[in-house]
Amino acid sequence: MPWMKHSDFDGYGNNLTEAIACVRKHQDPEIEKRIKMWESGVKKEEEDLLDVLIRLKDSNGRPLLATEEIRAQITELMFATVDNPSNAVEWALAEMLNQPEMLQKATEELDAVVGKDRLVQESDLPRLKYVKACVKESFRLHPLAPFNVPHVSTQDTVVGGYLIPKGSHVILSRPGLGRNPRIWEDPLKYKPERHMKDMEDARMDLNDPELTMFSFSTGRRGCPGVLLGSTLTVMLLARLLQCFSWKIPSGHSQIDLAECEDAGFLSKPLVAVAEPRFPQPN
C-alpha cells in the first residue's frame, strides 16, 4: 500500500535505518580517506576491491561511480558477507563443543601449523586442512538459506535426465543436497573428516563444483565472492579456536542444536565459556 510507506508500525524501517547508519559510520570514513589518497597521488596501485571501484572509468576517462554509489556498493557487500560466515562458524563451534575431540584436533593442527607465538594469518589457511573441513561440513549440514538465488534457463536443456524448458526458474534446495542420504553417509551427523580428501594445500575455496552440497553455488552464475567468503569463514573459526579454549557452560551437558523453523540459524544463540589459550601480556 504505497500510501502507508511512511508508516512503520512494526519498527522494521527504523531498525534498518539504524543498522545502515551503524555500518556506514565505520566504513564511510575509510572510503573517503581512500578516495582522497587517489586524488592526491599518494596511492598509485590498486590493491583491493575498493581501489577497483574508485578507479573504474568510462571510455572518456571519467569515473563510472560517484562516491555515494561506491558507498552503496560497499554497504551491499557488507550485508551479503556477514550472515553466511558467522552462521557457519557458530554452527561449527556448537557441533564441535558436543564432540570435544574435534576441538582438540583442530587446535592441535593450529599449534602445529601456526604455533603459539603469533596469530594465524591468511597465508596459513590453505594448510589448515582440518579447520577448513570443519567449515565445509558446517556449510553442508547447516546452510543459512534453504534455497539458492533463483536462476533462469536460457534454453531447453536436460540435467540428470530431467528436461528444463527455456525460461524456467531453477531453485535448488540446500538442505536437500547437503543432507541427501544417497550421497552422504550419516547425512545428519557432523563429520568434517568426510571432506579431508578435498582439502589440498593450494585450495582455499570451499565450493563444490559437483553440487553434492551448496555452499557458494558454481559455474558462470556462481557466487563471485566464493574465495572471499571461504577465507573469511575459515579465518574467523581459526582465530576463535587458536585464541580461546571453549567449554560448554556449567549445568549443561550438551549444546542444543535445534534449528530455527524459517532459517538456518540455531534456534537459540550459542552460549559457551571461552578462556584465553595464551598467556596474557603484562
Q: Where are the alpha helices (DSSP H) in the chain?
A: 12-40, 49-55, 67-98, 100-113, 129-141, 174-178, 226-243
- Quick one: 61 and 117 in the same domain? no
Taking every pair of Cα atoms in the chain, the longest distance, rounded to a whole number of angstroms, is 68
- Quick one: 24 and 122 in the same domain? no
pLDDT at residue 282 tops 60:
no
Model-level pTM? 0.78
- Quick one: 182 and 50 in the same domain? no
Residue 35 lies in a domain: yes
CA distance 126 to 120: 11
Mean pLDDT of the chain: 89
- The reported pLDDT for the residue numbered 81 is 72
Sole residue written with cell 573469511: 232
Over residues 31-73, the pLDDT tens digits come to: 999 999 999 999 999 988 899 999 999 989 899 999 999 999 9
- Quick one: 268 and 131 in the same domain? yes
Over residues 188-202, the pLDDT tens digits come to: 999 999 999 877 766
Q: Are 174 and 214 in contact (CB under 8 A)?
A: yes
- Quick one: 109 and 35 in the same domain? no
Q: Are 194 and 200 in contact (CB under 8 A)?
A: no
- Percent of the chain clearing pLDDT 90 (strictly above): 58
Q: Which residues pair with 259 in a beta bridge?
A: 266
Q: What is the CATH number of the domain that holds 239?
A: 1.10.630.10
Residue 242 lies in a domain: yes
Domain of 231? 86-144+178-276
How many distinct structural domains can be found in the chain? 2
Residue 122 lies in a domain: yes
